[in-house]
């Protein structure tokens, strides 16, 4: 009989009226079906009105069971105790950037990655009113490496080959390098090329695919040394439509001076995307790590290039004294 009732509910439907989600869940439970079959077991199919009565009875039974559990409990709250209200704290006082960086290192559980989260202004006076600016995007080459650099190959000729290898390229050259790439004898992450050799590189686009050097990606360069440094150690970033950017800049196990220099270089690079000198481009800046017990730290005042120079000058003068 249980299978007959369940099959009737599935194929004939409960009825034309839509039942609440909670009651539908109760109907699927075995207790509701058994209760319905015990009361109306000799009938074919499911009667909608009687099924509604079954739902009401099940709700009453559940309420009575919950009330009995509360009455059996020994815990009683005194009448003179006021109700407790919990207020979620979503705001923290901003701190100096050095204090925030030191706190991240102090609360780190292991060698964690330090990240900077920016909230930048998306205002653009050149666009129509109400329309945001294009996404803020760029690449920053931090002065100190904190993760394994990407493997870069450079398609070039002449003196550029030696310059690329000295800059840290995994391989450099033209015809021999193209042959190795075609036969998949070399592994790499980014391919960079000079403008003069692109006519030889284009036929290998079916092998390179997304790694093919293009002007849009900036992988066709004039200065191979700068290109290798940028694509091997560079940090790419792009904002969403609300202006949020998250960029890693160091490890908690690194020296404090290294972390500070990477952080200041990052802030300088992001601030360079400001389209107006009057508006405050970086609206909010917080630093955090992967699993730090201290959470994230809002940073203020946001260091500017002038403040950085003055701070470095004061530190140098204090050391000389």
Task: Provide the pLDDT for residue 192.
Answer: 92
Residue 308: exposure state from Cβ atoms within 10 A (0-12, 13-18, ≥19)? middle
Query: Alpha-carbon distance 31 to 28, whole Å?
Result: 9
What 3-state class would DSSP assign to 138?
strand
Query: Alpha-carbon distance 189 to 154, whole Å?
Result: 11
**Could you tell me whether strands 282-289 and 297-298 are parallel, antiparallel, or unpaired per DSSP bridges?**
antiparallel
DSSP conformation letters of 38-101: HHSTTSSS--HHHHHHHHHHHHHHHHHHHHHHHHH------TTSPPP----------B-HHHHH
Residue 138: exposure state from Cβ atoms within 10 A (0-12, 13-18, ≥19)? middle
Task: Provide the pLDDT for residue 248.
Answer: 93
Query: Alpha-carbon distance 252 to 104, whole Å?
Result: 7
Task: Provide the pLDDT for residue 154.
Answer: 93
Q: What pTM did the predictor assign? A: 0.59
Backbone angles phi, psi at 291, to 5 degrees: -130, 35
Task: Provide the pLDDT for residue 77.
Answer: 67
Task: Provide the pLDDT for residue 111.
Answer: 87
Query: Alpha-carbon distance 287 to 57, whole Å?
Result: 56
Task: Provide the pLDDT for residue 250.
Answer: 92
Residue 240 near residue 179, CB atoms below 8 Å: no
Q: Of the segments 73-77, 257-261, 276-280, 282-286, which one has the largest average pLDDT value?
A: 257-261
Residue 288: which H helix or E strand, with range? strand 282-289
Residue 14 near residue 51, CB atoms below 8 Å: yes
Task: Provide the pLDDT for residue 32.
Answer: 52
């Amino acid at each position: 009989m249980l299978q007959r009732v369940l099959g009737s509910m599935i194929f004939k439907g409960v009825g034309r009226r839509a039942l609440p989600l909670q009651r539908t869940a109760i109907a699927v439970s075995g207790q509701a079906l058994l209760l319905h079959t015990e009361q109306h077991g000799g009938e074919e199919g499911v009667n909608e009105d009687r099924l509604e009565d079954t739902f009401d009875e099940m709700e009453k039974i559940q309420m009575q069971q919950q009330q009995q559990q509360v009455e059996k409990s020994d815990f009683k709250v005194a009448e003179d105790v006021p109700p407790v209200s919990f207020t979620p704290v979503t705001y923290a006082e901003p701190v100096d950037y050095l204090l925030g960086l030191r706190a991240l290192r102090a609360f780190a559980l292991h060698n964690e990655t330090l990240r900077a989260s920016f909230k930048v202004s998306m205002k653009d006076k050149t666009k129509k009113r109400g329309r945001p600016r294009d996404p803020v995007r760029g690449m920053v080459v931090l002065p100190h490496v904190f993760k394994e650099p990407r493997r870069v190959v450079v398609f070039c000729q002449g003196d550029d080959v030696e310059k690329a290898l000295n800059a840290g390229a995994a391989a450099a050259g033209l015809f021999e390098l193209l042959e190795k790439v075609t036969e998949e004898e070399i592994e790499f992450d980014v391919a960079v090329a000079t403008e003069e050799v692109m006519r030889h590189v284009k036929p290998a686009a079916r092998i390179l695919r997304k790694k093919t050097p293009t002007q849009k990606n900036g992988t066709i360069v004039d200065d191979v040394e700068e290109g290798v440094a940028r694509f091997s150690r560079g940090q790419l970033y792009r904002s969403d439509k609300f202006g949020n950017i998250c960029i890693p800049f160091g490890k908690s196990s690194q020296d404090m001076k290294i972390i500070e220099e990477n952080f200041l270089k990052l802030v300088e690079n992001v601030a360079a995307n400001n389209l107006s000198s009057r508006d405050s481009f970086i609206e909010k800046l917080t630093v955090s790590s992967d699993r730090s017990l201290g959470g994230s730290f809002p940073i203020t005042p946001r260091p500017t290039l002038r403040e950085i120079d003055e701070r470095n000058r004061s530190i140098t003068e204090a050391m000389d004294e």
